[in-house]
Amino acid sequence: MGANLNLHKKSLQISADFLECKNKKFLSDLNYFKKIIEKILRISKINKIKSISYVFNGRGFTYLAILKESHLAFHTWPEKNLVNVDIFLCNFSQNNEKKIKSFLEEIEKILKPVSKIYKRIKRIT
């Protein structure tokens, strides 16, 4: 017996790779990063509950946030001018795709990447 998918909603997760980023401070300075991310989350109307981060030998870092809407992950590679982002906002009570779009647009303005790759994943919630 399969699950009744009509009882569920489709939500969106995006994995993004930002390549050749011009804003090197955002990739290597965790305090600067946190200040900017807090602002971008507010602009995008995304609600952070809690976050944790880890700096790798003074170089890049990983930042994870539990969101009211689901989760967010950043992995920075300053030596490669690369940032990996995963954001998942479930659509349980409303469609959050505009919030994801706004968030990624703001991140792109800050990073100033030469190129980017987005992978869209439809999730069941």
Residues involved in catalysis:
70, 75, 90
DSSP string, 26-66: HHH-HHHHHHHHHHHHHHTT--EEEEEEEESTTS-EEEEEE
Note whether 45 and 99 are within 8 A (CB). yes
Q: How far apart are CA 41 and CA 47, in angstroms?
A: 7
Q: State the Cα–Cα distance between residues 64 and 89, nearest whole angstrom.
A: 14
